[in-house]
Amino acid sequence: MLTQPWVFDDVVVGARFYNSNLEDKVLIGAEGCISKILSLTSPKDAAQSSAVSQTFMSAAESDVVWESFLPSDYEDIVSTSDSPMDFPSKKQLYFSLCNSPILLDGGKLSFSLDKKTGKKCFMVAARELGITWGNTPAYWEWLSHLNSRFSEVAKLKRVCWLDIRGKIKTRVLSKRTEYFAYLVFKFGDSFYGLGSVNSVVRFVDSESDNEAERRANVVSFVGQGPRSMLPMERDDGWLELKLGNFFNDTGEDGDVEARLMEIQYLRWKHGLIVQGIEFRPE
């Protein structure tokens, strides 16, 4: 008589323990399934899904989800950063790369991610650009700038012939992605001589300079016109001028070059401060 309640209680306790374990396993399984599903969506969808429930929140925070949004070669890229990077989660790494570009190749190149898509963005530093007369002190000056991500910027002192080129290898860019190229710049204290200029983007191995020049776009540093032709202010306080676009298919097109030029009307130009040329998805 005295043992029956204990036997009964053991069964009840055991049943409760079994049900608790089962619920935990179901929750863990559900969380894993949700993580797999979220990894097939987008960073924005994953972030918003955390408001659905506690299970969704846990799934949306998992490394499985956020590693899927990082480039497949992110470890190789991060390992070559000029500054050591150590983040406890892939989500934190993702948003750090979105909000804080890292320097690569001895500070000649910066890398970041597009927050909406996780696609790769690169900016080529002014020092790595092909600037006609860039190494002639009478025409261009190299100096540090407080708000630049690079150690040097190029300041135009005085030229008639303006020609600036930036190249990047298509194999390092995100595949099957439409990219745009931008001149990232500021106006100096006294800026003159630059209104409308020409810009063009070309695959170096597929199109000559002369062919590209014949189809060049007209863009403007000042004045009125379509929004796409005029400078836009960036979140980092710099300005950007769209130079053109291209589709990076499989990354096997060699170098792509973005170019800004004013080589027809040989008037004096002054006061342009160049940080670099950025290649990023739109």
Query: Domain boundaries in the chain?
Result: 20-69, 73-102, 106-281
Residue 68: is its pLDDT beyond 70? yes
Q: What is the pLDDT at residue 31? A: 66
Residue 3: is its pLDDT beyond 70? no
- N-to-C CA span, the chain: 78
Q: What is the pLDDT at residue 30? A: 64
Residue 14: is its pLDDT beyond 70? no
Residue 10: is its pLDDT beyond 80? no
Q: What is the pLDDT at residue 240? A: 98
183 token code pair: 């001149």
Assess if CATH 3.40.630.30 describes domain 106-281: no
Pairing of strands 120-125, 270-281: antiparallel
Residue 74: is its pLDDT beyond 90? yes
pLDDT digits (tens, 9 = 90+) for 95-151: 999 999 999 999 999 999 999 999 999 999 999 999 999 999 999 999 999 999 999
Instruction: Name 234's Cβ contacts closer than 8 Å, sequence gap at least 6.
Output: 184, 240
Residue 17: is its pLDDT beyond 70? no
Q: Quick check: 217 and 202 in contact, CB under 8 A?
A: no
Q: What is the pLDDT at residue 76? A: 94
Q: What is the pLDDT at residue 2? A: 39
Instruction: Say which amino acid occupies 213.
Output: E
Single pTM value for the model: 0.85
152 token code pair: 């040097």
Instruction: Name 277's Cβ contacts closer than 8 Å, sequence gap at least 6.
Output: 123, 124, 129, 164, 166, 181, 182, 183, 184, 243, 258
30 token code pair: 């559900």
Choose among 69, 15, 62: nearest CA to 42. 69
What is the DSSP code string of 123-192?
Answer: EEEGGGSEETTTT-TTTEEEE--TT-SSS-EEEE--BSSEEEEEEEEGGGSPSSEEEEEEEEEEEEEEEE
Q: CA-CA distance, 282 to 277, in Å (whole number)?
A: 15
Mean pLDDT along residues 243-259: 96
Q: What is the pLDDT at residue 138? A: 96
- pLDDT confidence tier of residue 280, bands split at 50, 70 and 90: very high
Q: Quick check: 170 and 264 in contact, CB under 8 A?
A: no
pLDDT digits (tens, 9 = 90+) for 77-99: 999 998 888 889 999 999 999 99
Mean pLDDT along residues 246-266: 94
